Amino acid sequence: MYVWIWRHLPGNAWVKALISLLLVLGGVYVLFQYVFPWAEPLLPFNDVTVDNGMPVSNGTVAVVR
pLDDT at 55: 59
DSSP 8-class letter at 11: S
The total of structural domains in the chain comes to 1
Q: What is the pLDDT of residue 59?
A: 61
Contact of 62 with 53, CB cutoff 8 Å: yes
Residue 58 per-residue DSSP state:
T
Q: 0.85 cut: is pTM over it? A: no
pLDDT digits (tens, 9 = 90+) for 3-62: 999 999 999 999 999 999 999 999 999 999 999 999 988 888 777 676 666 655 666 666
The residue range of the domain holding 37 is 2-62
